[in-house]
C-alpha cells in the first residue's frame, strides 16, 4: 500500500539534505574530540597521517560504491577489483621497473574500469541483478589475482622505489595518497553536482520510471556507475599495494563490506537516488577514526573488529530508525493547504 | 500505484511450449552435474571409488546444510550475509565451552543455540528496526566475527572430547558419512516443508509479493523472523560439523562461506528477487559445486582458483538463463 | 479556423499481440483545449505514451506543425515541444523542484550545470504558478497539486507547443481546480495546444473547446464541445446507455450488520463512524487523499487504530492483523490490484487459495486437489476468462485479474467485503461484470463497502454514499437524495 511504498524516506530528505550530514559531522568531531582529549597521543602527527592514509583508501572506494548505490545497484566486487589491479600493476612494475609511473597509473585506472564495465554490461544488457553479478565477479576477480601471480607475493624488494615512494611524497605535510583520496572526493562531488551525467545518476536511481519518461536510460546510468566504481577501485588497488608495499591474493579481502558500511553511515540509501559525497567522506572518516583510535585507546587489536562491527550495526539501525514510517498526514496537510 | 508499463487489455497468448518445460532449471543443472561427474570419472580412475566419492561429499555438505534455510530466506525476499561469521562465533563459543571441560552434548547444544540467537538478532534488525537485510547483515557479519576474535584472539581452541569428532568425521554405514546422511535428511525435510506445506506456500507468496501476502492474512514479519532464526540455527549446526571435522577452532573459521552458500542458492535457480525456486535445484547446485571443486582438486588446481570457477559458473548460468529468457530473473535487487 | 498543430492518423499499437490502439485519430489546434475522453483501457494512455515517445506506434503517422515527425524517445518529444503532465505525478521525490523542472535540459555554463540560473528560471516560472514553492525544496515536500504545478512549469520551460494533461484534477480540491483552469486559459492565450484528459464531464464542458472520444482502442468521434451534449458524450464513450453500465440489483436491505464507531488514526483520519446493513452497498466517496483507503486499511488490520471500535453482528471485533480480520469475517479487495491485490507471478489457483490455505490444508500440508476444486468452482462462477487455473495472474486482462482477486475473497466466505476502487483500470464490459457480481453478493446477505473516486459509480451502485473530506466523514446520503452536486460539494472545500 502507499505507506509501505513511501517508507523510503530519509531523515535527511524530510528536513532537507543537510541535517544528516551535519549530524554525522558533529558526531565525527565529537568522537575525534573525545578520543584526543582522553588520549592526546591520538593527535600526534604520525598517527593523524596514518589515519588519513587509511581513510583515503576507504573514502575513495566508498565514493565509487556510492555511484553504484545511487542507481539502485550494489558493487560487491570493489575490493577484489582493487586486489587484482594492484597485483597486475605490481607485477608490471616488477617486470618493467624503468617504465616509470605513468603506465602504472594508466593501467590501474583502465583495468579497473574494464573490470567495472564487465559488471556494468551484465547489469545493463542482460539485466542480471547487480548483487548476483558482483557476487560472481567478487570470487572470479579474487581467483584471478592468484592466477596472475601464481600465488606468489610481490614484496617491496621487487617494486621500484618510485612505485613505492610516490604515495608517500608529502605535499604540505600530507602524503600524496591522502591528497589523491581528497581529490577523488572533490572530483566526485563536482561530477555529481555539476555534470549532467552525475545528476542523471540520481534521477535514474530515485525514480526509474520517471527517468524513462525524461529520456534517461537507467541501464546505461548503471553501467556508467559501475565503470566509475571500477576505475576508482583500480586506482585504489595501486595505492593500496604501494602503501602497504606488498601485493598478494588476499589484499583488501572483505573490505567491500566496510566500503558499503561507510556509504550507509554516510546517508546513502541502499534503495537508490539518495546520498552525497560529503556524507560518504564523513562516514569513511567516522569508521577510520574508530579503527585508528582503538589501538591508541588501548583496546586489544582482537577487539577492534567487534567494536567496528557494533558501530556499523548501531549506525545502520539509527539510520533505518530515522527513515521509518513517515505516516500520511492527511488531516494536517490539507488543513494547512486550505 | 499504476506503473508506466502497458496493461494488456486482453488475455495474452500463452507461450509455453513443451521444450521449455524440458529445459527446466533443475533439468539443466542435473545435466551439468552428470557431465561433470563423467568428466571427473574420466580424469581420475579413482573417482568412482565409493570412498573417493565420500571424500568428495565433504566439499559441500556443510555449506549445503546452510544453503537450505538460506534458500527459504532468499525465496522470502531477504538475504543474510552474516552466516559465515555466525559459524565462527558458534565455533569459538563451543571451543570455550569445551575448554571449560564440558562434554560433547553441551558443546553441541551451545553451538546450535548461539547460532539461533545470532539469527534472532538479525531478524530483530530486519523485522523490528526495518533495516534492509543486506545492510543489517553487513553489520552483524563484522560484529559476530569480531566477537569471535575478541574471545580467542589469535589462539586456537581444541579441547574437544574425542566423541565430538563423530559429527564431522563419522560414517553411518560404510563410506556414507554422518554429514551426508544429515544433509540428505534435511534436504528432504526442507523440500517437503517448502513444496508441500502451507508454510512453504506462504514463503513463496511473501517473496513474490509481500504486500499482497500481508493483505491475504499472512504474518509476513513473523515468517521472516523465524526464517532468519532458523538460518542462524543451521549455521550453528554447520559450525558443529565443521568444527568437529577440523577438530579445532580459530576465529577465521568459515571465512567467506556466506558467498559460497549464497552462490549455491542462486545457482540452484532461486531468484534473488524472491518468490521462485526449488530445494531440488539447491541440492543439485550443491552437488555441482562439490563435484567441480573435487574434480579440480583431482587436477591439483589450488583452492583459490576454484573461486573463479564458482564465480564464473554463477555469472554464466544466470546470464544463460537471462539470454534464454527464463522468467523471474528480473532487474532490481 | 487555424491550421491544426498536431495530427495523428491511423496510429496503431499492439502489445504482445493485444491491440491497445487501432487507427487512432487525433487533431489538436493551437490555442485550443481538446478533451480526450474514454473509459479506462480505451487507448488514451497508449496514445499519450506514443506522443511522449515512451512507446512507438506500429503504424500511422504524426504531423506536427505541418511536418511528419517521428518521436523515438522522451527526449525527442521534449525537443519537438510536446510536454506531458502525468496523472501519477511522475517526479523525482528526492531531487529539488528546480531540477525536476529542468531534468531534461538543465541550464549549463562552461559545460557545468548552472544551479543559480536553474533556480532563477524556476523562480520566474513558479512566480506565476505558485510563489510559495521554493525552487530548492525537495519534491517530496510538495502537495499533489503543487507537484502538478511543477510539471506544468516543466512544460512551460520547454516552450511546449503541445501540453498533455492526464487527469490533472483527480486529486485536486475545487479551489485548486479553479487555479489550474486559470493556468490552462493562460496556456491557451499563449497559443499552445492542450490535450486534456478527464473523466469529469463538468470539467470537459467548462474548459474544453473540442473533444475526441476513444473506445476499445479506436477513435469513435470528435468535434466541437459546443455541438454536443453530455448524454451524447457518455453514449459515445461507453457505447451503451448508463443503466446498462450500472446493473443495480434490487436487494432487500436488512438489519445493521457492521458498524465502525469513532475510528481514528494519527494524522490520517479522525472520528470516522458509519454502519453497514445486510444486503447493502455502501459507497465511500472522496477526493484522492481524503483518507478513505486509510480507514479501510485500518479496519482490515493493516494499520493499528488509535481509537474506535468495529462491530460485526453486534459482536465487537478485535483486529490486530489482516489474519484476525479474515478469521472474523472481513474481506478486502484493495485498490492497487497488481501490488496488494494479487500475486502476479502466481497462478490463478494459488491466488484464489492463498487466504484460505489453512482451511483447505490437512495437518499443515497443502492439498492441491482441494485447491484446484475451489479455484475451478470460482472461475466458472465468476466467468473468469482463462486457459486454465494454472495460468499466471499476470497473463490475464485487468478485468479478469480483478475477478480473481474478488474470487479469492469470496472463497473465505466473508460477511463484509471491503472493495477499494473495485473497477479501477478495467474496461467497461468487465466493470459491468464486477457490478453484477456485487449485486449477487449482496443478494446473498453480504454487506459491501465500496470505496470509489468515480461519481457515476457511487451514484449508480451505492445504496448510501458516505463522503469523506480531509480524514473526516463529511456527509452521508441515501440513494434517493444523492446527487452529483451534493456529493461533490461535500467532498471538496467549497
Confidence of residue C32 (pLDDT cuts 50, 70, 90): very high
CATH number for region C6-239: 3.40.50.300
pLDDT for position C38: 80
Closest CA to B261 of B124, B130, B85, B29: B85
In this predicted structure, the answer to whether residue C312 has a pLDDT above a threshold of 90 is yes
With 50 as the cut, is the pLDDT of residue B271 above it?
Answer: yes
Lowest average pLDDT, out of A1-15, A90-104, A236-250, goes to: A1-15
State mean pLDDT over C342-360: 92
Percent of chain A with pLDDT over 70: 89
From the list A139, A310, A316, which residue is nearest B259 (CB)?
A: A139
Give the whole-number percent of chain C exceeding pLDDT 90: 34
Residue B193: inside a domain: yes
Task: Give the integer Cα–Cα distance in Å for C418 and A117.
Answer: 51
- Band of residue B332 on the pLDDT scale cut at 50, 70, 90: very low
Domain assignment of residue B170, yes or no: yes
User: Residue A299: what pLDDT?
Assistant: 80
- Quick one: cell of A284? 569513511
Q: Which of A265, A253, A250 is nearest to A308 (CA)?
A: A265
Share of chain A above pLDDT 90, in %: 39
Mutate to test the interface with A, among B5, B131, B266 (most CBs of A within 10 A): B131
Mutate one of C335, C343, C425 to test the B interface: name it (highest B CB count within 10 A): C343
B28/B54 Cα distance (integer angstroms): 24
Residues 6 or more apart whose Cβ sits within 8 Å of residue C243? none
C463 has pLDDT over 90 = yes
- The three-state secondary structure class of B176 is strand
Q: How far apart are CA C340 and CA C349, in angstroms?
A: 17
CB distance A225 to A71 below 8 Å? yes
Does C178 have pLDDT greater than 70? yes
Give the pLDDT band (50/70/90) at residue C1: low
* Residues A217, B101 contacting (CB under 8 angstroms): no
Give me the pLDDT at residue C439, please: 92
Would you state the cell numbers that stand for residue A5, as one nine-digit string? 511504498
Binary contact (A17, C113; C-beta < 8 A): no
Give the range among A26-35, B259-268, C305-314 with minimum mean pLDDT: A26-35
| Section A14-33 average pLDDT | 72
Q: What b/e readout covers A280-303, taking b as 16+ CB neighbours within 10 angstroms?
A: bbbbbbbbbbbbbbbebeeeeebb
| pLDDT of the residue at A15 | 38
How far apart CA B319 and CA B329 sit, in angstroms, is: 10
pLDDT of residue A291: 83
pLDDT for the residue numbered A333: 40
Angle at which helices B178-196 and B50-57 pack, to 10 degrees? Answer: 60
Q: How confident is the model at residue C44 (pLDDT cuts 50, 70, 90)?
A: confident
Smallest Cβ–Cβ distance between B7 and the set C336, C366, C398 belongs to: C398
d(CA C478, CA C447): 16
According to DSSP, residue B128 is labeled: I
Same fold flag, C6-239 and C245-491: yes
Asked whether residue B306 is assigned to any structural domain, the reply reads no
Q: Is B272 on the interface with A (CB under 8 A)?
A: yes
- The pLDDT of residue A34: 84
Q: Annotate B186-200 with DSSP letters as a single string.
A: HHHHHHHHHHHBHHH
Best CA proximity match to C56, nearest among C38, C36, C77: C77
Contact B91, B168 (CB under 8 A): no
pLDDT in tens, C267-300: 889 999 999 999 999 999 987 778 899 999 999 9
In contact, A304 and A289? CB cutoff 8 Å: no
* B143 falls within a domain: yes
Beta bridge partners of C218: C215
Share of chain C above pLDDT 70, in %: 95
pLDDT at residue C103 tops 70: yes
Task: Give yes or no for residue B72 having a pLDDT over 70.
Answer: yes
pLDDT at residue B6, rounded to an integer: 34
Residue A37 predicted with pLDDT over 80: yes
Task: Give the closest of B259, B305, B332 to A147, CB-based.
Answer: B305
Strand order in the sheet with C67-69: C18-28, C6-15, C59-64, C67-69
At A16 the pLDDT is: 41
Q: Count the neighbouring beta carbons within 10 Å of the beta carbon of residue B63.
A: 24
In chain A, where the domains are located = 53-266+274-283
Dist. CA C152–CA A238, nearest whole Å: 50
Domain count, chain B: 1
Residue A173 neighbours by CB distance under 10 Å: 9
Kindly report the CA angle at A9 between A6 and A10, in degrees rounded to 5? Answer: 175
Mean pLDDT of chain B: 86
User: Is residue A1 scored above 90 in pLDDT?
Assistant: no
Lowest mean pLDDT across A34-38, B93-97, C118-122, C252-256:
A34-38
pLDDT tens per residue across span A246-294: 888 888 888 888 899 899 888 888 888 888 999 999 999 998 888 888 8
Q: 3-state SS string over chain A?
A: CHHHHCCCCCHHHHCECHHHHHHHHHHHHHHHHHHHHHCHHHHCHHHHHHHHHHHHHHHHHHHHHHHHHHCCCCCCCHHHHHHHHHHHHHHHHHHCHHHCHHHHHHHHHHHHHHHHHHHHHHHHHCCCCHHHHHHHHHHHHHHHHHHHHCCCCEEHHHCCHHHHHHHHCEECCEEHHHHHHHHHHHHHHHHHHHCHHHHHHHHHHHCHHHHHHCCCCHHHHHHHHHHHHHHHHHHHHHHHHHHHCEECCCCCCCHHHHHHHHHHHCCCCCCCCCCCHHHHHHHHHHHHHHHHHHHHHCCCHHHHHHHHHHHHHHHHHHHHHHHCCCCCCHHHHHHHHC
Length of chain C in residues, anyone?
494
Cell numbers standing for residue A223: 553501467
Residue B84 has pLDDT above 90, yes or no: yes
Predicted local distance difference test score (pLDDT) of residue A323 = 54
Q: Is B9 helix (H, G, I), strand (E, B) or coil?
A: coil
Chain B residues close to C346, C-beta within 8 Å: 204-205, 208
Q: How many CB atoms lie within 10 A of CB C161?
A: 18
- pLDDT band of residue A118 (cuts 50, 70, 90) is very high
Residue B304 lies in a domain: no
Grid cell, residue B273, equals: 528477487
Span C452-472, mean pLDDT?
A: 89
B131-190 pLDDT, tens digit each: 889 889 988 998 999 999 999 988 899 999 999 999 999 899 888 999 999 999 999 999
> Which residues lie below 8 Å from residue B237, measured CB to CB, with a gap of 6+?
B65, B111, B112, B115
Let me know if residue B100 belongs to a domain.
yes
In a domain, B307, yes or no: no
Question: Residue B327: pLDDT band by 50, 70, 90 thresholds?
Answer: very low
pLDDT above 60 (res B11):
no
Q: Is residue B292 part of a domain?
A: no
All residues of chain A having their beta carbon less than 8 Å from the beta carbon of residue B267 are: none
Q: C245-491 in CATH: which number?
A: 3.40.50.300
> With 80 as the cut, is the pLDDT of residue C241 above it?
no
Whether pLDDT at B8 is above 50: no
Mean pLDDT value across chain C: 86
Chains within contact range of chain A (3+ C-beta pairs < 8 Å):
B, C
pLDDT value at B15 more than 60: no
- Span A104-124, average pLDDT: 95
Q: At what angle do helices B61-75 and B198-208 cross, to 10 degrees?
A: 60
The domain in which residue B174 lies consists of 61-255+271-277
Sequence-ordered strand ranges (E) for chain B:
171-173, 176-177
What pLDDT, on a 0 to 100 scale, did the predictor assign at position C91?
85
Give me the half-sphere count of Cα atoms (radius 13 Å) on the Cβ side of residue A271. 13
C-alpha span between C487 and C484 (Å, rounded): 5
* Maximal CA-CA distance, chain B: 72
Reduced 3-state DSSP string for chain C: CCCCCEEEEEEEEEECCEEEEEEEEEEECCCCEEEEECCCCCCHHHHHHHHCCCCCCCEEEEEECCEEECCCCHHHHHHHCEEEECCCCCCCCCCEHHHHHCCCCCCEECCEECHHHHHHHHHHHHHHHCCCCCCCCEHHHCCHHHHHHHHHHHHHHCCCCEEEEECCCCCCCHHHHHHHHHHHHHHHHCCCEEEEECCCHHHHHHHCCEEEEEECCEEEEEEEHHHCCHHHHHHHHHCCCHHHHCCCCCCCCCCEEEEEEEEEECCCEEEEEEEEECCCEEEEECCCCCCHHHHHHHHCCCCCCCEEEEEECCEECCCCCHHHHHHCCEEEECCCHHHHHCCCCCEHHHHHHHHHHHHHCECCECCHHHHHHHHHHHHHHCCCCCCCCCCEHHHCCHHHHHHHHHHHHHCCCCCEEEEECCCCCCCHHHHHHHHHHHHHHHHCCCEEEEEECCHHHHHHHCCEEEEEECCEEEEEEECCCCCHHHHHHHHCCC
Q: Does the pLDDT value for residue B193 go beyond 50?
A: yes
User: Is residue C332 within 8 Å of C293, Cβ to Cβ?
Assistant: no
Q: Domain boundaries in chain C?
A: 6-239, 245-491
- What's the whole-number mean pLDDT along residues B293-321? 81
CA–CA gap between residue C386 and residue C393 (Å, rounded): 10
Range with the largest mean pLDDT of A211-220, A312-321, B222-231, C392-401: B222-231
CB of C476 within 8 Å of a chain B CB? The answer is no
Q: Indicate yes or no: CB of C339 within 8 angstroms of CB of B1.
A: yes
CA dist., res. C378 & res. C366, Å (int): 19
Of A132, A212, A316, the CB nearest to B136: A316
Question: What pLDDT was estimated at residue C143?
Answer: 78
Q: Is A325 on the interface with C (CB under 8 A)?
A: no
A121 touches chain B (CB under 8 A): no
Query: Does the pLDDT at position A184 exceed 90?
Result: yes
Mean predicted confidence (pLDDT) in B256-276 = 88
Q: Nearest 10 degrees: CA dihedral of B312, B317, B323, B327?
A: -140
Residues 61-90 of C with CB under 8 A from B: 88, 90
- Residues C376-397 have a mean pLDDT of 87
Any A CB within 8 A of C290 CB? yes
Amino acid at each position: 500500500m502507499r505507506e509501505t511504498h513511501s517508507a523510503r524516506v530519509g531523515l535527511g530528505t524530510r528536513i532537507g539534505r543537510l541535517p544528516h550530514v551535519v549530524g554525522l559531522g558533529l558526531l565525527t568531531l565529537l568522537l575525534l574530540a573525545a578520543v584526543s582529549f582522553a588520549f592526546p597521543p591520538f593527535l600526534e602527527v604520525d598517527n593523524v597521517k596514518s589515519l588519513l592514509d587509511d581513510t583515503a583508501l576507504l573514502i575513495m572506494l566508498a565514493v565509487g560504491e556510492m555511484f553504484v548505490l545511487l542507481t539502485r545497484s550494489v558493487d560487491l566486487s570493489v575490493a577484489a577489483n582493487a586486489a587484482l589491479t594492484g597485483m597486475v600493476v605490481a607485477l608490471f612494475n616488477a617486470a618493467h621497473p624503468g617504465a616509470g609511473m605513468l603506465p602504472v597509473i594508466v593501467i590501474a585506472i583502465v583495468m579497473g574500469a574494464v573490470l567495472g564495465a564487465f559488471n556494468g554490461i551484465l547489469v545493463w544488457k542482460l539485466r542480471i541483478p547487480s548483487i548476483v553479478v558482483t557476487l560472481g565477479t567478487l570470487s572470479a576477480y579474487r581467483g584471478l589475482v592468484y592466477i596472475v601471480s601464481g600465488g606468489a607475493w610481490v614484496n617491496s624488494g621487487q617494486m621500484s622505489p618510485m612505485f613505492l615512494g610516490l604515495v608517500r611524497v608529502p605535499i604540505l605535510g600530507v602524503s600524496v595518497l591522502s591528497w589523491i583520496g581528497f581529490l577523488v572526493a572533490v572530483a566526485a562531488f563536482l561530477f555529481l553536482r555539476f555534470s549532467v551525467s552525475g545528476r542523471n545518476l540520481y534521477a535514474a536511481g530515485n525514480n526509474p520510471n520517471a527517468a524513462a519518461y525524461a529520456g534517461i536510460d537507467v541501464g546505461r546510468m548503471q553501467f556508467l556507475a559501475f565503470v566509475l566504481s571500477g576505475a576508482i577501485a583500480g586506482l585504489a588497488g595501486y595505492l593500496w599495494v604501494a602503501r602497504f608495499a606488498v601485493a598478494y591474493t588476499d589484499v583488501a579481502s572483505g573490505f567491500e563490506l566496510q566500503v558499503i558500511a561507510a556509504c550507509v553511515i554516510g546517508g546513502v540509501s541502499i534503495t537508490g537516488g539518495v546520498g552525497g559525497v560529503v556524507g560518504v567522506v564523513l562516514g569513511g572518516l567516522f569508521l577510520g577514526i574508530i579503527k585508528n583510535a582503538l589501538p591508541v585507546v588501548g583496546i586489544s587489536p582482537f577487539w577492534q573488529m567487534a567494536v567496528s562491527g557494533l558501530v556499523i550495526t548501531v549506525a545502520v539501525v539509527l539510520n533505518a530508525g530515522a527513515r521509518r514510517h513517515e505516516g500520511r498526514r492527511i488531516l494536517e496537510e490539507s488543513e494547512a493547504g486550505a | 500505484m499504476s506503473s508506466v508499463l502497458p496493461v494488456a487489455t486482453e488475455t495474452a497468448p500463452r507461450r509455453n511450449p513443451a521444450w521449455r518445460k524440458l529445459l527446466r532449471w533443475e533439468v539443466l543443472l542435473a545435466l551439468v552435474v552428470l557431465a561433470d561427474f563423467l568428466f571427473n570419472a574420466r580424469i581420475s580412475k579413482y573417482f568412482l571409488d565409493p570412498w573417493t566419492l565420500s571424500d568428495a561429499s565433504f566439499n559441500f555438505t556443510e555449506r549445503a546444510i546452510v544453503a537450505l534455510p538460506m534458500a527459504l530466506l532468499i525465496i522470502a525476499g531477504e538475504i543474510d550475509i552474516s552466516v559465515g561469521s555466525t559459524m565462527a562465533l558458534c565455533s569459538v563459543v563451543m571451543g570455550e565451552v569445551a575448554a571449560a571441560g564440558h562434554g560433547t552434548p553441551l558443546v553441541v547444544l551451545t553451538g546450535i543455540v548461539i547460532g539461533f540467537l545470532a539469527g534472532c538478532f538479525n531478524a530483530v534488525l530486519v523485522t523490528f528496526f526495518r533495516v534492509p537485510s543486506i545492510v543489517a547483515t553487513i553489520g552483524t557479519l563484522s560484529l559476530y566475527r569480531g566477537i569471535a576474535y575478541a574471545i580467542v584472539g589469535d589462539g586456537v581452541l581444541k579441547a574437544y572430547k574425542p566423541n565430538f569428532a563423530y559429527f564431522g568425521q563419522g560414517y553411518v554405514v560404510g563410506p556414507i558419512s554422518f554429514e551426508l546422511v544429515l544433509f540428505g535428511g534435511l534436504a528432504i525435510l526442507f523440500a517437503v516443508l517448502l513444496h508441500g506445506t502451507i508454510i512453504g506456500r506462504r514463503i513463496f507468496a511473501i517473496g513474490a509479493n509481500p504486500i499482497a501476502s500481508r493483505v491475504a492474512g499472512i504474518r509476513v514479519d513473523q515468517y521472516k523472523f523465524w526464517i532468519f532464526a532458523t538460518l542462524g540455527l543451521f549455521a550453528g549446526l554447520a559450525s558443529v560439523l565443521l568444527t568437529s571435522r577440523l577438530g579445532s577452532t580459530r576465529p577465521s573459521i568459515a571465512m567467506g562461506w556466506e558467498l559460497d552458500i549464497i552462490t549455491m542458492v542462486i545457482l540452484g535457480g532461486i531468484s534473488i528477487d524472491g518468490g521462485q525456486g526449488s530445494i531440488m535445484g539447491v541440492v543439485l547446485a550443491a552437488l555441482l559445486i562439490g563435484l567441480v571443486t573435487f574434480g579440480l582438486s583431482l587436477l591439483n588446481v589450488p583452492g583459490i582458483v576454484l573461486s573463479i570457477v564458482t564465480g564464473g559458473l554463477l555469472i554464466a548460468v544466470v546470464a544463460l538463463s537471462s539470454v534464454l529468457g527464463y522468467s523471474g530473473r528480473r532487474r532490481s535487487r | 479556423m487555424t491550421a491544426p498543430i498536431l495530427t495523428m492518423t491511423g496510429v496503431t499499437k499492439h502489445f504482445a499481440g493485444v491491440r491497445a490502439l487501432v487507427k487512432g485519430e487525433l487533431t489538436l489546434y493551437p490555442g485550443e483545449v481538446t478533451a480526450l475522453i474514454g473509459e479506462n483501457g480505451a487507448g488514451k494512455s497508449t496514445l499519450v505514451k506514443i506522443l511522449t515517445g515512451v512507446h512507438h506506434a506500429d503504424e500511422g503517422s504524426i504531423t506536427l506543425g505541418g511536418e511528419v515527425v517521428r518521436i523515438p524517445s522522451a527526449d525527442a518529444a521534449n525537443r519537438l515541444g510536446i510536454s506531458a503532465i502525468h496523472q501519477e505525478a511522475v517526479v523525482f521525490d528526492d531531487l529539488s523542484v528546480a531540477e525536476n523542472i529542468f531534468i531534461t535540459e538543465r541550464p549549463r555554463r562552461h559545460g557545468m550545470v548552472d544551479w543559480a540560473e536553474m533556480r532563477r528560471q524556476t523562480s520566474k516560472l513558479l512566480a506565476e504558478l505558485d510563489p510559495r514553492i521554493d525552487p530548492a525544496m525537495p519534491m517530496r515536500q510538495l502537495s499533489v497539486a503543487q507537484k502538478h504545478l511543477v510539471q506544468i512549469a516543466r512544460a512551460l520551460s520547454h516552450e511546449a507547443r503541445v501540453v498533455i494533461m492526464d487527469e490533472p484534477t483527480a486529486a485536486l480540491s475545487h479551489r485548486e481546480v479553479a487555479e489550474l483552469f486559470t493556468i490552462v486559459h493562460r496556456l491557451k492565450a499563449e497559443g499552445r495546444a492542450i490535450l486534456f484528459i478527464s473523466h469529469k464531464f463538468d470539467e470537459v464542458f467548462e474548459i474544453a473547446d473540442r473533444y475526441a472520444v476513444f473506445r476499445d482502442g479506436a477513435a469513435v468521434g470528435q468535434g466541437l464541445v459546443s455541438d454536443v451534449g453530455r448524454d451524447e458524450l457518455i453514449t459515445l464513450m461507453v457505447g451503451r446507455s448508463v443503466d446498462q453500465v450500472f446493473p443495480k440489483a434490487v436487494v432487500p436491505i436488512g438489519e445493521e450488520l457492521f458498524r465502525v464507531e469513532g475510528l481514528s488514526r494519527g494524522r490520517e483520519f479522525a472520528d470516522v463512524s458509519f454502519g453497514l446493513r445486510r444486503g447493502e452497498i455502501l459507497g465511500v466517496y472522496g477526493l484522492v487523499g481524503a483518507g478513505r483507503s486509510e480507514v479501510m486499511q485500518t479496519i482490515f488490520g493493516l494499520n493499528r487504530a488509535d481509537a474506535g471500535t468495529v462491530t460485526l453482528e453486534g459482536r465487537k471485533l478485535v483486529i490486530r492483523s489482516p489474519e484476525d480480520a479474515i478469521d472474523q469475517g472481513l474481506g478486502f479487495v484493495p485498490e492497487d490490484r497488481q501490488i496488494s491485490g494479487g500475486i502476479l507471478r502466481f497462478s490463478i489457483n494459488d491466488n484464489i487459495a492463498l487466504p484460505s490455505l489453512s482451511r483447505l490444508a490437512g495437518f499443515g500440508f497443502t492439498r492441491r486437489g482441494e485447491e484446484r476444486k475451489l479455484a475451478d468452482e470460482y472461475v466458472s462462477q465468476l466467468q473468469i476468462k482463462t486457459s486454465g487455473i494454472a495460468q499466471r495472474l499476470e497473463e490475464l486482462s485487468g478485468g479478469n485479474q480483478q475477478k480473481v482477486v474478488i474470487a479469492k475473497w469470496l472463497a473465505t466466505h466473508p460477511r463484509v467485503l471491503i472493495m477499494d476502487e473495485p473497477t479501477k483500470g478495467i474496461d467497461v464490459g468487465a466493470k459491468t461484470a464486477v457490478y453484477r457480481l456485487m449485486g449477487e453478493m449482496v443478494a446473498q446477505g453480504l454487506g459491501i463497502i465500496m470505496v470509489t473516486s468515480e461519481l457515476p459509480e457511487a451514484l449508480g451502485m451505492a445504496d448510501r454514499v458516505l463522503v469523506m473530506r480531509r480524514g473526516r466523514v463529511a456527509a452521508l446520503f441515501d440513494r434517493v437524495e444523492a446527487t452529483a452536486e451534493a456529493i461533490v460539494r461535500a467532498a471538496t472545500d467549497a
